[in-house]
């Protein structure tokens, strides 16, 4: 394995772990044959990466070992064509190896891995106008150990990083700090589901609850491979080993997720320098997937009692049209299923004994308009589960395909709403169901999706 000189540069990768036929993996056109390119962070419409390419044949900065410095570059894509990479702000420690980095959601704070005479570890810089401030050291840097590969959460309140600080499982482990009123909390090791006696590096937080990282200590296909874990009840669990075509017998590393179901990673699989590869799922892209809403068939029926009625001379009887009824001026009732129910209200005058029908309503009970995942909340490993989307309610859509992402890296494309699946590893999994079809009134192609969670035990 080739060792990069970016403070700790084990080659690593992360992937979304789909089936081989569901991915397209291609090298990006701005790779060089003589230098290494390492993905660091996604940008809106582009990518930040670090490289030790020599930009000037006559003048080029080197370290004390006369090796070209790793510098940060930004490159943008327009109309599916990549532009020319441009070096990022030169005042970000120009005499040090710089990268990988992580950028806050608002783009105003950058967390850098640094290795140079000015310091080693994680450094932080703020954007002031269009210029970055001089980076200052992360408060948990130390001369006794290394901190590197920062990954900040979208809300800016958690910082994940790799370190070989004392007390870990061995080698480099993944840690997390919480933002406090005065800085960052003491680092917390993510535990044995993430860390091993070897090295875990390059954390990448794809969502608040899903973390990708690379490891040389868990089950790998060769070199360093990428894994994912899910946070559940404060614990990172459900470790998944990501499959080909991203992980390979070579070193594959530094995965980041980007726009339009695209990802990027670095690899030395071509046997020369380390290059950047683009990964695009061949599945349809589903965006803005909401948490599944549970159908609620409960209604509140209320009759406004007039001042004349307060004497208690009247009773109120409801016939809900489903074979049940109740008495009272305000009643909460749950219907047994969807359908149209003729609800009637009868009022009895207690002085005369006369009952009259006061009002009649036609109540339409419908499901929430959404794809619907009908699965138990819990199941066991090896248990045969029915992936059931038959309760999907999209009355204006002719559904053509059902796309399942089971949360363990598997994607399934089905023509029918029902299929079978089982989980092999205990954990908590986020399931996504997407459907495609045509709008009945316009013939337009449409997509809808939902998310929900299932817990798998032994």
Residues carrying CATH 2.60.40.10, the chain: 298-365, 378-457
* Structure tokens belonging to residue 309: 């009625």
- CA–CA distance, 449 with 56 (Å, rounded to integer): 50
CATH 2.60.40.10 assigned to domain 378-457? The reply is: yes
Residue 4 has pLDDT above 80, yes or no: no
Q: 122 to each of 89, 96, 116, 144, 282, how far by Cα in Å?
A: 17, 12, 12, 14, 36
- CA–CA distance, 89 with 52 (Å, rounded to integer): 16
- The CATH number fitting domain 298-365, selected from 3.60.10.10, 3.40.50.2000, 2.60.40.10, 3.40.50.300: 2.60.40.10
Write the burial class of residue 87 (CB in 10 Å: 0-12 exposed, 13-18 middle, 19+ buried).
middle
Instruction: Render pLDDT for 255-293 as a digit per residue (tens, 0 to 9).
Output: 888 876 678 999 988 887 899 999 887 888 888 899 999
Residue 66 has pLDDT above 50, yes or no: no
| Backbone φ, ψ for residue 309 (5° rounding) | -80, -10
pLDDT at 3: 34
Instruction: Render pLDDT for 69-104 as a digit per residue (tens, 0 to 9).
Output: 888 999 999 888 999 999 876 667 777 888 899 999
Residue 17 has pLDDT above 60, yes or no: no
Please say whether the beta carbons of 253 and 12 come within 8 A. yes
Residue 150, classed as helix, strand or coil, is strand
Instruction: Render pLDDT for 301-321 as a digit per residue (tens, 0 to 9).
Output: 998 876 665 557 889 999 999
| Backbone φ, ψ for residue 39 (5° rounding) | -65, 140
CATH 2.115.10.20 assigned to domain 20-282? The reply is: yes
| Backbone φ, ψ for residue 407 (5° rounding) | 90, -10
Residues carrying CATH 2.115.10.20, the chain: 20-282
- CA–CA distance, 162 with 146 (Å, rounded to integer): 8
Per DSSP, 367 falls in state -
Query: Which residues does residue 272 pair with via DSSP β-bridges, in sequence order?
Result: none
């Amino acid at each position: 394995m080739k060792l990069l000189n970016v403070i700790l540069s084990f080659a690593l990768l992360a992937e979304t772990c789909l089936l081989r036929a569901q991915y397209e993996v291609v090298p990006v056109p701005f790779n060089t044959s003589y230098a290494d390119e390492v993905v660091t962070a996604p940008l809106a419409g582009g990518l930040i990466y670090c490289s030790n390419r020599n930009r000037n044949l006559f003048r080029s900065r080197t370290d004390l070992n006369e090796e070209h410095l790793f510098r940060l570059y930004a490159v943008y894509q327009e109309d599916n064509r990549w532009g020319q990479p441009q070096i990022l702000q030169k005042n970000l420690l120009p005499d040090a190896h710089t990268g990988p980095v992580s950028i806050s959601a608002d783009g105003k704070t950058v967390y850098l891995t640094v290795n140079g005479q000015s310091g080693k570890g994680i450094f932080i810089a703020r954007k002031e106008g269009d210029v970055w401030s001089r980076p200052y050291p992360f408060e948990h840097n130390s001369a006794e150990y290394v901190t590197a590969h920062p990954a900040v959460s979208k809300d800016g309140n958690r910082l994940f990083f790799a370190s070989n600080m004392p007390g870990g499982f061995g080698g480099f482990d993944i840690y997390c700090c919480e933002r406090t009123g005065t800085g960052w909390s003491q680092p917390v090791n993510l535990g044995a589901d993430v860390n091993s006696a070897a090295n875990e590096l390059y954390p990448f937080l794809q969502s608040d609850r899903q973390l990708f990282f690379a490891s040389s200590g868990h089950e790998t296909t060769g070199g360093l491979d990428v894994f994912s874990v899910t946070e559940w009840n404060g614990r990172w669990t459900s470790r998944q080993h990501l499959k080909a075509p991203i992980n390979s017998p070579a070193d594959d590393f530094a995965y980041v997720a980007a726009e339009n179901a695209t990802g990027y990673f670095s690899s030395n699989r071509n046997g020369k320098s380390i290059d950047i590869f683009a990964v695009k799922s061949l599945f349809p892209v589903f965006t803005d997937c909401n948490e599944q809403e549970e159908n609620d068939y409960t209604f509140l029926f209320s009759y406004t009692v007039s001042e004349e009625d307060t004497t208690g001379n009247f009773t109120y009887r409801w016939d809900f049209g489903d074979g049940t009824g109740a008495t009272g001026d305000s009643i909460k009732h749950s219907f047994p299923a969807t359908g149209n129910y003729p609800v009637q209200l009868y009022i009895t005058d207690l002085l005369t004994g006369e009952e009259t029908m006061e009002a009649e309503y036609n109540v339409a009970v419908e499901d929430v308009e959404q794809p619907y995942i009908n699965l138990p909340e819990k199941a066991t490993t090896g248990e045969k589960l029915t992936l059931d989307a038959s309760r999907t309610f999209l009355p204006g859509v002719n559904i053509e395909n059902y796309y399942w992402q089971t949360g363990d890296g598997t994607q399934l494309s089905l023509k029918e709403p029902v299929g079978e699946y089982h989980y092999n590893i205990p954990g908590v999994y986020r399931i996504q169901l997407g459907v495609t079809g045509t709008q009945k009134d316009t013939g337009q192609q449409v997509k809808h999706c939902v998310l929900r969670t299932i817990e798998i035990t032994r």
